[in-house]
Amino acid sequence: MDPTRRRRQRPAPDAPLPPGTPNDTGANPVYNLDEPTMEEKLATLKGGAGRAGGADEEPPLPVLLPPSADSVHVLLKQALRADDHASLLSCLYNKDHKVIVNSISLLTPADALKLLKFFVLLVQSRGAVLVCLLPWLQNLLSKHMSSIVSQESSLLLLNSLYQLIDARTSTFKSSLQLSTSLDCLFSEIVDDESEEEEGSPLIIYEDKDTDDEESEVDDMEINGESDGLCGVTDASEHSDGSEVMSD
């Protein structure tokens, strides 16, 4: 045996493999630390399925929040500076006391005078607009009366406002009397109708059967025939008696 030839010694099964050697037996697996975990993979799959399923769905509608004091205040100032009567009316339809007080208190003296001019125009109108106007006008005069009076142009506005309010209240007494008279007349009409309904006799209609009507007709005919026979017998008796007497 050639001593130069040496047998290769097989490595022990538990010995570590040299770097770069492919691992066919599955021992000593190499782990990739950058690979996502199973939880991350499942989350990715769920997210992709949700996006694919929700592609055809409509986006949710935005929730309309009620107007706050800040939003009404901003809208009121913008409407006053732009002289937008429609936006001013939309602000006046808000009846929340806190919103009214806060919006009026944040106005500048110039904006307060502009709002008073708009209120003088609205006092001449009727209906629901005037009802919504009253709390705003009351808070405006109580909060900004000193700043309004200090301006020269406010004298004419306040005079016009006083005349309009006086004209409105002057008809209140006559309107109240008219309303009371109408209520009394209406109550009397209702009482008369109720008495007529109670005093009228009840009419009861009875529908008789045809058999009963026929029996009544037959009885009347029989009674008539019997009366006729009685008359004939009486006449014959009288005639016989007269003949006997004459004889």
- Summarize pLDDT for 154-197 with one digit per residue, the tens: 888 888 888 888 887 877 788 788 888 888 888 878 766 666 66
Label residue 199 by pLDDT band (50, 70, 90): low
Of 31 and 161, the one with more pLDDT? 161
pLDDT at 88: 87
Who's near 103: CB < 8 A, 6+ residues apart? Answer: 69, 72, 73, 76, 91
Q: What is the pLDDT of residue 185?
A: 84
Q: Cα–chain-centroid distance for residue 158?
A: 39
Does residue 95 surpass a pLDDT of 80?
Answer: yes
